[in-house]
Amino acid sequence: MENYSRRSRILITGGAGFLGSHLCERLLNDGHDIICLDNFFTGTKDNIAHLLDHPHFELMRHDVTFPLYVEVDEIYNLACPASPIHYQFDPVQTTKTSVHGAINMLGLAKRTRAKIFQASTSEVYGDPEVHPQPESYWGKVNPIGPRSCYDEGKRCAETLFFDYRRQHGLNIKVARIFNTYGPRMHPNDGRVVSNFIVQALRHEPITLYGDGTQTRSFCYVDDLIEGFVRLMNADDGFTGPVNLGNPGEFTMIELAERVKGLTGSRSELIHKPLPTDDPKQRQPDTTLARAQLEWEPAVKLEEGLQPTIVYFERLLKAR
């Protein structure tokens, strides 16, 4: 007999995206009923094609900027383009996705009394003056720059989540996601890992912006999804925000050289001007995640790059 007592009805917005598809897979394997919601602006059916025949998986085409009426126990709100190329394509819609999307999902959570998770971002810290970044740091964000639609949209979403908790007693969870990579990344999203791998596999010049000494911290997708689940299952009194990311810090030059080595690429490194408001440093302080969730990333950069490279090799061959 199936164990209905532990099965939850879970809505995942942005469920056909890079992170959302991995989360759908994980929660299905954990025995839950999944509603995968996506408008397919950056998500793709290819990411969840292997799940479509699963008896406890449902795909719904919907935009979170419009209200939704379903019955659920938990909501993971991941819907929002996350790479500069995609979120700057229609910046007003990006802000609407973060803000109206949060309002609509919080309204749904209020009606159904569902637990709700917000996928926030390390971009709430802006170009930080504190390094590494703890959750207590309020950030240094340009409110009127080309990245503001994403940065300020996510900051406003956090505000809404905590106001809904204070005003309506909602059970909320807020994670601040640092750079994540792995299979199912969009090949044209402009993010550094996918850019470097695709350029290396094609033996094209690898593009560094600025002098290449700016740093990022890269978390493999499986580690991040484990953090999501632990946060959602944590004591109701722990809301976050909590940093989820790998504290290992690498310069862009170091990343490029590692990708070249793993792919055997003949690519040369070239330099272009640094984009406006591009952060110089990014490294999570994960003290809170270790203490509250007993979580820390297990996959080292080289270990995670290998399956990511294999994914892009297959993708490029298929195309």
Question: What's the CA gap between 21 and 198, in Å, rounded?
Answer: 21
Give the pLDDT score at 5: 55
CA separation (Å) from 195 to 50, 81, 116, 181, 301?
26, 17, 33, 11, 16
User: What are the boundaries of each domain within the chain?
Assistant: 7-318
Question: Among residues 51, 71, 101, which one has the least CA distance to residue 8?
Answer: 71
Q: How far apart are the C-alpha atoms of 224 and 227, rounded to whole Å?
A: 5
Tokens of 239: 């809301």
Specify whether the CB–CB gap between 21 and 49 falls below 8 A: no
Q: Specify the long-range contacts of residues 257-263, CB closer than 8 Å, at least 24 apart.
A: 258/301, 258/302, 258/305, 259/193, 259/196, 259/197, 259/200, 259/206, 259/305, 259/309, 260/200, 260/206, 262/302, 262/305, 262/306, 262/309, 263/197, 263/200, 263/201, 263/309
Backbone angles phi, psi at 245, to 5 degrees: 180, 170
Chain Cα centroid distance, residue 73? 22
User: What does the pLDDT read at residue 2?
Assistant: 47
Q: According to the CATH classification, is domain 7-318 in 3.40.50.720?
A: yes
pLDDT for residue 281: 83
pLDDT of residue 188: 83
Angle made by CA atoms 35, 86, 92, in degrees to the nearest 5:
90
Distance CA 98, CA 151 (A): 10
Active site residues: 150
The reported pLDDT for the residue numbered 277 is: 72
Tokens of 31: 């025995």
Q: Which residues pair with 131 in a beta bridge?
A: none
* Tens digit of pLDDT at every position of the chain (319 positions): 344 457 999 999 999 999 999 999 999 999 999 999 999 999 999 999 999 999 999 999 999 999 999 999 999 999 998 878 888 889 999 999 999 999 999 999 999 999 999 999 999 999 999 999 999 999 999 999 999 999 999 999 999 999 999 999 999 999 999 999 999 998 888 889 999 999 999 999 999 999 999 999 999 999 999 999 999 999 999 999 999 999 999 999 999 999 999 999 999 999 999 888 777 888 999 999 999 999 999 999 999 999 999 999 999 998 7
What is the rounded radius of gyration, in angstroms, for the C-alpha atoms of the chain?
Answer: 19
Place of tokens 């470097």: 196
pLDDT at 88: 87
